[in-house]
Chains A and B, each alone.
Chain A
Amino acid sequence: MSERVVISPTSRQEGHAELVMEVDDEGIVTKGRYFSITPVRGLEKMLTGKAPESAPVYAQRICGVCPIPHTLASVEAMDDSLDIEIPKAARQMRELVLAAHDVNSHAIHHFLIAADFVPENLFATAVNSVSEIRKTAQYVVDMVAGEGIHPSDVRIGGMADNISEVARKKLYARCKALKPKVDAHVELIVGLVADKGLPAGLGVHNQPILTTDNLYGDRENFDLDRFTEIMPESWYDDAEIAKRACSTIPLYDGMNVEVGPRARAAKFRGFTEKGVVAQHVARAMEMKSALSKMIAILAELDTSAPVRADFDVRGTNKLGIGAIEGPRGLDVHMAQVANGKTQFYSCLVPTTWNIPTMGPATEGFHHEFGPHVIRAYDPCLSCATHVIVVDDEDRSVIKNEMVRI
């Protein structure tokens, strides 16, 4: 006897999604489907026909959770389309901003999973630890990129301005001082996740991982020819779910993949564990990697070096690719510029990659563990939503089937 367990919307994540699990008599999940029900944003369409400089300004507003990766992927795509080689110091500043954002974003995720893992007596400790880390990490983004949430100073061709020597020293000192706090925080989170005693093998799947770089992102390692995109109708074997799903299904080598901290750790840091616990551990450990990268960059950044290249904004219609390793995984933006205007723009964002993998990852365990599996991916759906299946006749999706909170 098969029964359906539906969680809608799934909680403690950004955006709205639904988890539909078919369970057997023991409550074990035999089939898991996870899909986005967040309304479509349409930002890519808004960008066509506009000046290339508009792209990062719009793209960063896809979502306030990871505006930094979207800004960086956007300028990287434009840099590529316009054949710009950015100065070394600009590249360092971009890497610094992303690393700081990683630390901040992973810390936010620890808020979201606190209710799962943190016992009452440690709650204040964990929350204070997250707040302290975020304060310094966001301060770095503020100073280097202009704004902590929608960075104004990450520009096509580099950065708007270098930072002053005074600011560099200040940030360097603060990041150094943050190190023991981050170490203690990581130990706390990793310890608490282990204490929970989740069943071994929870969330383990056999899908490949996809990542382009240890921390920043490298377009050379993203092969567009190996990428395909299909509509939810050809992916979900349930007509009703396929109709309601709001995201496309991206495949690499024809397979759904996992992106994110565990993928990066596995490919670049010799990490071999899999599953929910491994994802939490990889994410926490990545805070250390990101912080040490921030410290290294701040130690050597030349604050008198130029940070912006000259460029010709007209463009040759070359397809530019920006591949950025966001906190939740690979974020690819693609852009074509000709006659000084954006001709084509497309975003291929972290959670979209994970969506088809997350549902099946719940299979084989009791459905009560389903939400744990989902949260281990830190899904963020606003940007993942790219398509909406609308019946032009009765516009049924828009009218009735959006999530109501």
Chain B
Amino acid sequence: MVLGTYKEVVAARSTDKQIQKIAQDGGIVSALFCYALDEKLIDGAVVAGPTEELWKPAPTVAMTAEEVLAAAGTKYTFSPNVWMLKKAARQYGLEKIGTVAIPCQLMGIRKMQSYPFGVRFLADKIALAVGIFCMENFPFASLQTFISEKMGLDPNLVEKMDIGKGKFWAYTADDVYTLPLKETHGYEQNGCKICLDYVAELADVSTGSVGTPDGWSTVFTRTDAGETIFKAAVEAGVIETKAIDDVKPGLGLLEKLATDKKTKAMKVIDDRKAMGLPVPYKASSEKEDPLANI
């Protein structure tokens, strides 16, 4: 089960031309939030919104489609969205909250829901948690450093960033720059090295580019809530889908990458445990499935 528990997996993309244009891949997160806002399934979403500094996102409460779209596209650095959830429920007065999160943030959210210490009445207000696939994440200074020093590019000129085919990609207005991913190693945050979750196993719906062709996303529906909203969005025509078996490269690549991430992380976890360091995971000898996200 390297892909976590899920109900269904499909290839999907937003049918909205505007979303297709600005989205990272299939525009699933934007399409789902816009649809859920329209249908009042959520009354706001905590997203990684833009700040005055290009490529540095900040948690933002989006309450309209425009605000959701302003946050479209992947930023390869942190946006501490979990921190904003309580504010969304309190100062913003939201009662059905959507959020987008990477796997580690989802672990935090689910733990918070299980042990709502200092977050009374928040657990039941999270109506839709969309997870995005994540291999690793970079501190903002790391991102700036390898873009400007290794790629020789001013980050302010970059219009889109992407990771795929073993490379980090940066698109300017009229050029494409790449950096082999092994050159970015050492710049990721330390915690990523022990993370056992590639495909956001704890989300209601998780999505990412891997497994599907350009312009499409792979989507897992994992919970009843996630399945209901996703199916409704497909039915309403805001998202179109294809069977995952009909697209290339398909689930095989996803399984391989998820297994790689887990295997590598498990080795680091075991090493750190052997040194007596505190690690919030079990050692491989302590669990039935050594790759389980526990």
**B-facing residues in A133-149 (Cβ within 8 Å):** 142-143, 146-149
Determine the main DSSP class of A at the interface with B.
Answer: loop
What residues on A are CB-neighbors of B91 within 8 Å? 143, 153, 161-164, 167
Mask: chain A, 145-175; 1 = CB below 8 Å from B; 0 = not: 0111100110000000111101100110000
Determine the main DSSP class of B at the interface with A.
Answer: loop
Q: A146-B86, A161-B87 are in contact. Are A167 and B92 (CB under 8 A)?
A: yes
Q: Are the C-beta atoms of A167 and B120 separated by less than 8 Å? A: no
Q: Are the C-beta atoms of A143 and B90 separated by less than 8 Å? A: yes
In the complex, which residue of chain B has the Cβ closest to the Cβ of A168?
Answer: B93
Please give the distance in Å from B6's CB to the nearest CB on chain A.
Answer: 34
Q: Are the C-beta atoms of B93 and A163 separated by less than 8 Å? A: yes
**B-facing residues in A159-207 (Cβ within 8 Å):** 161-164, 166-167, 170-171
In the complex, B278 has a CB within 8 A of chain A: no
Contact of A146 among B63, B90, B92, B93 (CB under 8 A): B90
What separation, in Å, do the CA atoms of A49 and B46 have in the docked complex? Answer: 39
What separation, in Å, do the CA atoms of A170 and B90 have in the docked complex? Answer: 12
What residues on A are CB-neighbors of B92 within 8 Å? 163-164, 166-167
In the complex, B121 has a CB within 8 A of chain A: yes
What residues on B are CB-neighbors of A170 within 8 Å? 93
Contact of B93 among A149, A152, A153, A164 (CB under 8 A): A164
**A-facing residues in B35-89 (Cβ within 8 Å):** 61, 63, 86-87
What residues on A are CB-neighbors of B86 within 8 Å? 146
In the complex, B164 has a CB within 8 A of chain A: no
In the complex, which residue of chain B has the Cβ closest to the Cβ of A170?
Answer: B93
Please give the distance in Å from A145's CB to the nearest CB on chain B.
Answer: 8
Q: Are the C-beta atoms of B90 and A166 separated by less than 8 Å? A: no
What residues on B are CB-neighbors of A148 within 8 Å? 120-121
What residues on A are CB-neighbors of B87 within 8 Å? 161
Q: Are the C-beta atoms of B93 and A167 separated by less than 8 Å? A: yes
Interface size class of B (residues with CB under 8 A): 10 to 19
In the complex, B118 has a CB within 8 A of chain A: yes
Q: Are the C-beta atoms of B121 and A166 separated by less than 8 Å? A: no
What separation, in Å, do the CA atoms of A163 and B90 have in the docked complex? Answer: 8
What residues on A are CB-neighbors of B93 within 8 Å? 143, 163-164, 166-167, 170-171
What residues on B are CB-neighbors of A163 within 8 Å? 90-93
Please give the distance in Å from A193's CB to the nearest CB on chain B.
Answer: 33
What separation, in Å, do the CA atoms of A303 and B91 have in the docked complex? Answer: 10
**A-facing residues in B107-126 (Cβ within 8 Å):** 118, 120-121
Q: Are the C-beta atoms of A152 and B120 separated by less than 8 Å? A: no
What separation, in Å, do the CA atoms of A147 and B117 have in the docked complex? Answer: 11
What separation, in Å, do the CA atoms of A161 and B61 have in the docked complex? Answer: 14
Q: A163-B91, A164-B91, A167-B93 are in contact. Are A147 and B120 (CB under 8 A)?
A: yes
What separation, in Å, do the CA atoms of A153 and B120 have in the docked complex? Answer: 14
What separation, in Å, do the CA atoms of A148 and B122 have in the docked complex? Answer: 12
Please give the distance in Å from B112's CB to the nearest CB on chain A.
Answer: 14
In the complex, which residue of chain A has the Cβ closest to the Cβ of B94?
Answer: A166
What separation, in Å, do the CA atoms of A163 and B63 have in the docked complex? Answer: 15
Q: Are the C-beta atoms of B121 and A152 separated by less than 8 Å? A: no
What separation, in Å, do the CA atoms of A170 and B121 have in the docked complex? Answer: 17
Q: Are the C-beta atoms of B120 and A142 separated by less than 8 Å? A: yes
What separation, in Å, do the CA atoms of A162 and B90 have in the docked complex? Answer: 10
Q: Are the C-beta atoms of B63 and A142 separated by less than 8 Å? A: no
What separation, in Å, do the CA atoms of A171 and B90 have in the docked complex? Answer: 11
What residues on B are CB-neighbors of A167 within 8 Å? 90-93
What separation, in Å, do the CA atoms of A361 and B202 have in the docked complex? Answer: 61
Please give the distance in Å from B94's CB to the nearest CB on chain A.
Answer: 8
Q: Are the C-beta atoms of B118 and A142 separated by less than 8 Å? A: no
Q: Are the C-beta atoms of B118 and A147 separated by less than 8 Å? A: yes
In the complex, which residue of chain B has the Cβ closest to the Cβ of A303?
Answer: B91
In the complex, which residue of chain A has the Cβ closest to the Cβ of B121?
Answer: A142
Q: Please, could you name 22 A-B residue pairs with CB atoms under 8 Å apart, sorted by A?
A: A142-B121, A143-B91, A143-B93, A146-B86, A146-B90, A147-B118, A149-B120, A152-B118, A153-B90, A161-B87, A161-B91, A162-B91, A163-B92, A163-B93, A164-B61, A164-B92, A164-B93, A166-B92, A166-B93, A166-B94, A167-B91, A170-B93
* A residues adjacent to B (C-beta < 8 A): 142-143, 146-149, 152-153, 161-164, 166-167, 170-171
The 7 nearest A-B residue pairs measured at CB: A167-B93, A164-B92, A170-B93, A163-B91, A161-B91, A143-B90, A166-B93
